[in-house]
Structure 1
């Protein structure tokens, strides 16, 4: 198994970096958090032109036909930049649940979002989505917003949906696969967000001074930053392993291990990064707030760590019987 990106994937990741930085970098997420979605929607259109939105849609349906490892590369960069919008729902979850015509619309740039009872009970950014879906009782429904909610992440706008009309029954295997892809995408985003918070913390530790010395020189802080580095370095191979084992019998377990490890690493990165930044990290003006909220928010959807641990335990116990 290859746990490293190919040259093509590295080039794709660099293209994402260039597009986001050209659009304003973290200012896109900052504007979205403040209620200005225009920069984020313009970025969505650029990604549609790049082919990113059709990443998991077959080429004969207008998509990119990318692999799960491609998905990991893309969503790690989206997490690193804190890119706002329902990318996970449009790119990772829905292509495996909707019909071919709708997949073509998604590949062309249509914004879609979805909620899944028991897994992701609120749909993200329904206010900017042209299509809203609700997965309930094994069926896919068109959804309408009934309640807007708040999130710990300033760039996330969750909403509860209610079903409209009769739903379309989903194949249980297709639904399970789509949910695994959504969990994998969330894990990759968490790794990317964790890397960004670690980078921000290390940079700030070099310039913030206490007792006449940069705080990065203090051994205790070095240990905490090293713990984050180790956690992220262990999480990334698990995410890649899950992408490469999607067709194996233990695919569910691999995805759960990846989501648990990525969630814990990102939450640790958030805690240490906030400690490094001190009071300034709490302020609305500092861009760190984008990732500080993103880590716990993504950790709590598409399977909480507790839910994924339970799935691993159930899988292991079933093999012992």
Structure 2
């Protein structure tokens, strides 16, 4: 089977990329880090106008009724620009949960409302519950709204983690599918983050000079960056393959999602390590934009299933 994105996918990705490129995301992220979510929420509203928030919501509830391929194409762009907020939760997880438990709430999501989800023990905390309109809690296959409690720290300052307790019970939903969609969306974010860190590092290597020569002219630097590029390109088919499995209702969809999550996570983590080595210590300082991508990558590695959880799922399937 040969798979390639068609023009509708690439055009959609380009439109999201163009929108976010004009939004000064580093400044938006730093504001979000400091507790000022207003600039970030404006970005989310513009995304909602393009249909991103309602991608997998049925047209009957004001969504686009798109499939998992459109989802990963869009979310990869959000990862490339390190968009703050509950990306996977709003776009991929909450729509699945609400479709089963409270479909009357789907229109609000499609129109731009943000949602976050806790699903202990695999997802113990709700991300950015202070900035969303709807917080959901999954317990024993049942979905309820949640009351926000204590805040917890994260390596990524743009990810505020909150303990939550059940409030109003909404009903039952396909919670395993919701978890899988969260993992798929997180994998797409990680691939996007990795791509940007490679671009930032490559550009820096062309400009940074030592002993009168750009450090990018050194073979060792070239080899490291080439390995990052190979890892990202090898992960992409697994991500797209997982999206195809979801779209087609394959019995192997869960295995394919886990394989994609592991591969994209490994590739993004390698990109972050090499980016830091290329930049030196300056890359990890809060003043440098690279730090925003580094910390988000580290946080998302364990979001919606740790690498060990997903490796175990692949092994079980095999």
* TM norm structure 2: 0.95
Match of 1:146 in 2: 149
Does the 8 Å contact 1:86/1:111 carry over to 2?
Answer: yes
Does the 8 Å contact 1:32/1:155 carry over to 2?
Answer: yes
Does the 8 Å contact 2:114/2:132 carry over to 1?
Answer: yes
- Cα deviation 1:233-271 (Å, max 9, x = unaligned): 111110000000121111111001000000000011000
Structure 1 residues without counterparts, runs of 5 or longer:
317-321
After TM superposition, give the deviation of residue 31 of structure 1 in Å.
2.2
After TM superposition, give the deviation of residue 36 of structure 1 in Å.
2.2
Match of 2:252 in 1: 250
Please tell me whether residue 82 in structure 1 is matched to residue 82 in structure 2: yes
Give me the whole-angstrom Cα distance separating, in 1, the residues matched to 2:22 and 2:216: 31
Corresponding residue SS for 2:250:
coil
Match among 295, 306, 309 for residue 307 of structure 1? 309
Does the 8 Å contact 1:133/1:140 carry over to 2?
Answer: yes
Match of 1:60 in 2: 60
Give me the whole-angstrom Cα distance separating, in 1, the residues matched to 2:126 and 2:226: 36
Match of 1:13 in 2: 13
Corresponding residue SS for 1:129:
coil
Give me the whole-angstrom Cα distance separating, in 1, the residues matched to 2:48 and 2:268: 28
Note the 1:161-172 alignment, pairs <5 A.
161-166=164-169, 168-170=171-173
Q: How many residues align?
A: 313
Structure 2 residues without counterparts, runs of 5 or longer:
none
Moved more, 269-278 or 213-222: 213-222
Give me the whole-angstrom Cα distance separating, in 1, the residues matched to 2:67 and 2:123: 24
Does the 8 Å contact 1:23/1:39 carry over to 2?
Answer: no
Match of 2:118 in 1: 115
Please tell me whether residue 100 in structure 1 is matched to residue 93 in structure 2: no
Corresponding residue SS for 2:53:
helix
* TM norm structure 1: 0.94
Aligned CA distance change for structure 1 residues 70 and 33 (closer, same or farther; 3 Å): same
Give me the whole-angstrom Cα distance separating, in 1, the residues matched to 2:42 and 2:3: 33
Moved more, 141-150 or 253-262: 141-150
Coordinate RMSD, CA, aligned: 1.3
Give me the whole-angstrom Cα distance separating, in 2, the residues matched to 1:277 and 1:154: 21
